[in-house]
Amino acid sequence: MGNNRGGDILYISVEKHKDNLLIQFKGELDHHSSEIVRQKIDQQYLDHGLKNIILDLRGLTFMDSSGIGLIMGRYKNCLEKKGKMSIVNDNPHVDKILKMSGLLKIINVYPTIESAIENI
């Protein structure tokens, strides 16, 4: 998925791990890519009856407000299924956006996928 800014293309990996849907991001998550990503995540999450979502944001080089909207929408899906969402992140740029958005008050952040899975 490309964008008009001439930056990175967004690549995502979506896989099931027990009751968890693990999504790994690499590149830019912006308004050009967020709708396609939303559809792909929702299809996997809802079609497979999964409970929890783990978002690995360590590979993001950019995220705008549409990325925050994407996360919030998936968080609401988790709440409806009595599940949880966790974020894996060590990226200072993404951390700043998560703090400013208030998401860190409602979603736990872990440094590794393993620690997110253990604590979900």
Top CATH class, 11-119: alpha beta
User: Taking the C-alpha atoms of 89, 71, 86 and 23 in order, what is their torsion angle to the nearest 10 degrees?
Assistant: -70
- What SS3 string covers the chain? CCCCCCCCCCEEEEEEECCEEEEEEEEEECCCCHHHHHHHHHHHHHHCCCCEEEEEEEEEEEECHHHHHHHHHHHHHHHHCCCCEEEECCCHHHHHHHHHHCHHHCCEEECCHHHHHHHC
- Tokens 């952040």 correspond to what residue? 109
- pLDDT, tens digit only, all 120 positions of the chain: 444 444 578 999 999 988 899 999 999 999 999 999 999 999 999 888 899 999 999 999 999 999 999 999 999 999 999 999 999 999 999 999 999 999 999 999 999 999 999 998
pLDDT at 7: 55
pLDDT at 3: 40
pLDDT at 2: 42
Report how far residue 8's alpha carbon sits from residue 32's, in angstroms, rounded to the nearest whole number: 12
